[in-house]
Amino acid sequence: MSLQQCRTQQPVRVREVDLDDPLRAAELGLRPGTVVRVTQRGAFGGVVLAVGGARVAVDARTARHITVEPVEV
C-alpha cells in the first residue's frame, strides 16, 4: 500500500520510494527499510510522518509514490 492509504499511528516499513530524485527523501530518513508512521493527515491528502523522532510533512503526490508495508511493534 502507499503511505497515503495507511492508518494514522500505524507503524509501517518503507519498501519503495518512487521519486525522480529520491536522494533528499533518503537523507531525511525516508528510504527502504526505515519504519515510519503517519501522525497527522492534512487537507488535500498531505500527511505528516514520524521518521525517527522527527516529523516530516509530505505532499499527497509524494505520499502516493512511497510504498510501505505494515510491521508488528
Partner 1 sequence: MSCPHCSPEPRPKDAGIQVSTLEHPVVALVGNPNVGKSSLFNNATGLHQEVRNAPGTTVEMLSGVWKSAGVELFDLPGTYSLLAKSPDEQVTVDALAGRLDRQPSLAVVLLDATSLPRSLYLLGQVARTGLPVVAAMTMCDVAAAEGRLPDAARLQDVLGIPVVAMDGRKQPAELAVAVKGALTGDAHVRGVRGTPLPADATLEEQLADAQSLFVWTEDVQRQLGTPADTHAVTRSDRIDRVLLHPWVGIPVFAFLMWALFQLATTVAAPVMDWAESLVTGPVTTAVSAILSAVGLGGGLIEGLLVDGILAGVGTVFSFAPLMFIMFLAIAILDDSGYLARAAFVADKAMRAIGLDGRALLPLIVGFGCNLPALAAARALPDARQRFVTAIVVPYTSCAARLTVYILLATVFFGPNAGSVIFLMYVLSILMVIVAGLVLRKVTGAGVNRQPLLMVLPAYQVPRPLVLLSEAGKRTWGFMTGAGKVIIITLTVVWLLLAVPVRGGYTVGDVPIEDSAYGATAEAIAPVFAPAGFGNWQSASALMTGFVAKEVVVGAFAQAYAVDEPEDAAEPGTLGDKLTATFDASSGGHAGAAALAFMIFVLTYTPCLATLAEQWRMLGPRVTLAATGTQIAVAWLLAVAVFQLLKLVW
Q: Residues interacting with partner 1, by CB under 8 A?
A: 9, 11, 19-31, 35, 37, 39-44, 46, 48, 50-62, 65, 73
Nearer CB in complex with partner 1: 16/50 = 50
Nearer CB in complex with partner 1: 6/30 = 30
- Cell matching residue 47: 500527511
Closest approach of partner 1 to the CB of residue 20, in Å: 7
3-state secondary structure of 46: coil
Distance CA 16, CA 66 (A): 6
Distance CA 25, CA 30 (A): 5
Closest approach of partner 1 to the CB of residue 2, in Å: 14
Dihedral (C-alpha) 69, 3, 24, 51: value to the nearest 10 degrees? -70
Closest approach of partner 1 to the CB of residue 44, in Å: 4
